[in-house]
Structure 1
Amino acid sequence: MKAIVYTKYGPPDVLQLKEVEKPIPKENEILVKVKATTVTVADIRSRSFTVPPAFWLPARITLGFRQPKKAILGMELAGEVESVGNEVKRFKEGDQVFAASLAGFGAYAEYKCLSEDGPVSIKPSNITFAEAAAIPIGARTALYFLRKANIKSGQRVLIYGASGSVGSYAVQLAKYFGANVTGVCSTTNVEMVKSLGADKVLDYTAEDFSRADETYDVIFEAVNKSSFSTCMKWLKKDGIYINVTEPLPSVQMLWTQLTSGKKLLLSRNSPETSEALNFLKDLVEGGMLKVVIDRSYAFDEIVEAHRYVEKGHKKGNVVINVDQISCGDTHPNVTI
């Protein structure tokens, strides 16, 4: 089978399209023929090994010291079940599914084995494989943190980075739970965030937030680009601050949590079960959750896709159509 492989850390050019051995499902696994995957921030960081200094050693242990332990990246996918292990009960051959492959990566390939007990579910019937592939990480992350915050109807929620993958889902899910939502994004994305249901949209390039006098029950930082001090000014005395990209609290965060009634929820992985995907599937099929796709690329255009996402300005999600190959000889950085 074809797969995107990297054997060393570095720029997008380290990614190569190669022939590798097709996996065989274990007794409790399904073999999925991958139709689409995505380029996430986690893929970018893993490929380039750009992690905070405090996490250098743990990341090396997890990802590999001299070279990557997992040669095939890709954390989310959608596709069709080709075969199942003897103990599989939930899925059968021909089922259309979407899933998160998480720390195991491996979605940048024509085939991927997944445990039937993991975060995998039947694909929403009213969207494409490309759209379904863009749900398992961003939407699950947004849902997990909003649930942890115990968001309630009528609460005021501010979402910083409302045009990204996690942020675009957070806007819609917060509205679903009945919150009054304010999204923060750049000028070019204001209308898009409004179309997702935000009650108010602030343009961070045109407004001085340090002077804002509004307060919120929940502040959801999806891109880690806001000032923590400013967010604390906006947050109510008993409010909740969410940061999905910051794994450890700073000294200022610890002090705030110790000396105030404000609660902090920082980055962590969502539970590795199918419950959240089943919930999100129902929302999508009910027309209550939309997938924002910025750009789509063919499988052998993945180097270009990584270059684009690495710039940090994508809207929603960037999708890779695994079952599409353009013209290999026009992409010198990708070899077969």
Structure 2
Amino acid sequence: MKAIATAGWGPKTKLVLSEMPAPFSLGDEDVLVEVHAASVNPKDWKLNYHLAMAATPLGTRRLPPLFGDDLAGVVVDKGTRVQGLDVGDEVYGMDMRLRTASLAEQAVINQQRVAKKPKSLSFTEAASLPLAALTALQGLRKGGAEQGKTVLIIGASGGVGSLAVQIAKYLGMQVTGVCSTRNLEFVKQLGADAVIDYTQGDYRKSAGAFDIVYDVTSYETPLTCKVLLGENGHFISTGGQGLSMVATPLYRLLGKKANSVVVESYREDLGYLTELVELGALHPVIDSVYSLVDSDAAYARNRSGRCRGKVVIEIRS
């Protein structure tokens, strides 16, 4: 089958279209999915970079060669203990093993990590949701999101941020989004009650205090956002890079309300996202769409930090 594989490590990693063996190990609780679309997430290239940098000369630098986490496609085979999914079902999801290996014509995924896709969405739209939307949902839950609370979302125009704004509004929260000048109107259209342009100076001095500060950029820490946290305020970070990887868990150890989001993919949460989509409360935001052969360019777009929503790769048109 055609699949995207890695060539090289760290910041010089290249993604190349290769011929790979089709998945052959189908567990009793797995489904085999004919992949129609997959989306790009920073997790993949950050993982490749950080593990390469941490590897010792005597250590091994082994990762599964295939890339991709999110997928949307059609079930073409299933294990003997799979329930609630049948051959021919249109599904979407992701696996929290090291990688789903979704940038391929076929992928194997556990039944609990995949759900029937929203009928109103195309495969391309559905593929953009799993990791980003689950991160948005589970991060807000960790912060104690509920009706009437205030939340500041730092990075509100990106893949996770654009979905977090929508979910927070559905939960009845007062939402303030932080973004660049060019994205102010876009974040307002997503439903934000207020927007802050971070290019106009240090907004921490005047933004006020919030019940939840959700940093989806991973650049901030509980200390840099201390003045933004109200009494009993909760700092949440995607925690994927920089000082946030260390500072957030250390801050929590001191008894403060701070968490990093460790995303779990469950069929139940995917089902909840489907409900929001069908209610019209959540819609994917697609920055750009690439073909499988152009996957390296798709990841370059993601690394640019200029994405408005998600970058998607179509395996089948």
Normalised to the residue count of structure 2, the TM-score between the two structures is 0.91
Contact 1:74 1:101 in 2 (8 A): no
Superposed, which structure 2 residues align to 1:168-207 within 5 Å?
168-207=162-201
Change (3 A) 1:156 1:257: farther
Partner of 1:85: 79
Change (3 A) 1:176 1:52: farther
What is the percent sequence identity of the aligned residues? Answer: 35
Contact 1:8 1:68 in 2 (8 A): no
SS in 1 for 2:232: strand
User: 2:259, 2:251 → 1: CA distance?
Assistant: 14
| Deviation of 1:310 (Å) | 1.4
Partner of 1:28: 29
**Once the two structures are superposed, what CA deviation does each residue of 1:253-278 show, in whole Å capped at 9, x if it has no partner?**
7468737xx411123232x4211100
Any stretches of 5+ residues in structure 2 without a counterpart?
Answer: none
Counting matched residue pairs gives 311
SS in 2 for 1:124: coil
Partner of 2:44: 43
Any stretches of 5+ residues in structure 1 without a counterpart?
Answer: 325-336
| Residue identity opposite 2:254 in structure 1 | L
Partner of 1:334: none
SS in 2 for 1:233: helix
Change (3 A) 1:23 1:52: closer
Partner of 1:301: 294
SS in 1 for 2:37: strand
Superposed, which structure 2 residues align to 1:73-222 within 5 Å?
73-102=67-96, 103-117=98-112, 119-212=113-206, 214-222=208-216
SS in 2 for 1:125: coil
| Residue identity opposite 1:145 in structure 2 | G
Change (3 A) 1:249 1:108: same
Normalised to the residue count of structure 1, the TM-score between the two structures is 0.86
Contact 1:12 1:303 in 2 (8 A): no
| Deviation of 1:52 (Å) | 11
User: 2:249, 2:71 → 1: CA distance?
Assistant: 35
**Once the two structures are superposed, what CA deviation does each residue of 1:41-67 show, in whole Å capped at 9, x if it has no partner?**
0112134x14697xx36xx8xxx9544
Bigger shift: residues 104-113 or 201-210: 201-210
User: 2:11, 2:224 → 1: CA distance?
Assistant: 34
